[in-house]
Amino acid sequence: MLVCQYMSEVYQELQSQLGEVSQNEKLAPFTSFKIGGPAQYFFSAKTNEDLIKSVKLAISLSIKYFILGNGSNILISDKGFPGLVIKQDNMKISYDGTLVTAASGVRLQKLVRDVVEHNLTGLEYLIGIPGTIGGGVAGNVGTPQEGQWINEHIVSVEILDSRREIAEILKASCDFSYRNSRFKKVDNELIVSAKFELRKSTRSSIDENIKNFLRKRSHQPINLPCAGSIFRNPAEKKSWKLIDDAGLRGKKIGGAQVSEEHTNFIVNAGEATAEDVVILISYIKQQIRDKYRVQLQEEIKYIGF
């Protein structure tokens, strides 16, 4: 009874401070896997100020919070998330010559297309990757085939730090590495925006680059819901090759299936639950460990487990 009363007070406080906050919002539609139960509370942050205010409020109310980007590298539990999900919809892009600042909610696709309009080159390899600046910078998004990663063009990142103050940190302090950064290692820093240094070029040469990168991405199973690469590549061999060699191409548990097109992708082949995916992941890890003595590590992040 007391817990219910407290929850209702929390909801009222969230609504009075933030405006539109929903309860029990289904999260599956906000993920590329199309999997996941409801958020206890859900808020769409349309500006950097919204984003910062909502995080500070969640902390002051002692409720859990989670920053949702495009949901393209996460698996949300079937039970959902017990706290406030803050969807970043802050989408401002600003220019100062060849310096470009993008808010954390800007979709990578939007940024690539926008900088083209300013005849700026450098980010074309991000075309076709379905994330936001927040998720992309946290996970140092990029293309292993081309060896290009988003950190290459970053000058600095604006964050809400662990003391709840805004700070601008230079690239060298972001601890970028293969599909990783300091933001993936700690949960108490929020990326608010990122500043990129690009180069001037001609429209035709940038368009040609984009066409080439799109062609190279055509082997990925983007027609079925998935969350990109499930595992990081171990030092020994590429994950997809280990999984393929182990005979797991097409392996299915419930509605979750190892993609026929790209074996480091698991696809939602219809009505998959998070539990199906978790069981399939653990089956793959066990098979690879037994056959090759290699311990695969997830690239995706588990939310609400």
Residue numbers annotated as active site = 179, 229, 299
134 binds ligand FAD (CB under 6 A): yes
Identify residues 7-46 at the interface with ligand FAD (CB under 6 A).
Answer: 32
Would you state the structure tokens that stand for residue 186, as one six-digit string?
């700690």
48 binds ligand FAD (CB under 6 A): no
Stretch that binds ligand FAD, among 13-21, 134-142, 164-172, 248-256 (CB under 6 A): 134-142
* Residue closer to ligand FAD (CB basis): 38 or 139: 139
The helix/strand/coil state of 118 is: coil
Task: Please identify which residue in the block is written with the tokens 């990109």.
Answer: 228
Q: Which residue type occupies 282?
A: S
Answer for which of 36, 83, 139, 304 binds ligand FAD (CB under 6 A) is: 139
131 binds ligand FAD (CB under 6 A): yes
70 binds ligand FAD (CB under 6 A): yes
88 binds ligand FAD (CB under 6 A): yes
CA 203 to chain centre: 29
220 binds ligand FAD (CB under 6 A): yes
Q: Which of 110, 13, 83 has its CA nearest to residue 67?
A: 83
Stretch that binds ligand FAD, among 18-26, 40-48, 125-133, 237-245 (CB under 6 A): 125-133
55 binds ligand FAD (CB under 6 A): no
CB 137 to ligand FAD: min, Å: 7
CB 146 to ligand FAD: min, Å: 10
* Residue closer to ligand FAD (CB basis): 121 or 233: 233
Give the list of residues 6+ apart from residue 116 with CB closer than 8 angstroms, or none. 203, 206, 207, 210
For residues 230-246, one letter each, b for 16 or more C-beta atoms within 10 angstroms of the residue's C-beta and e for the rest, the string is bbebeeeeebbebbeeb
201 binds ligand FAD (CB under 6 A): no
Residue 228 Rama label (left phi>0; alpha psi -120 to 50; beta): left
The helix/strand/coil state of 135 is: helix
Would you state the structure tokens that stand for residue 149, as one six-digit string?
């990663």
Pairing of strands 190-197, 154-160: antiparallel
Applying CB under 6 A, the residues found at the interface with ligand FAD are: 32, 66-74, 88, 104, 129-132, 134-136, 138-139, 141-143, 183, 190-191, 220, 222, 226-228, 301
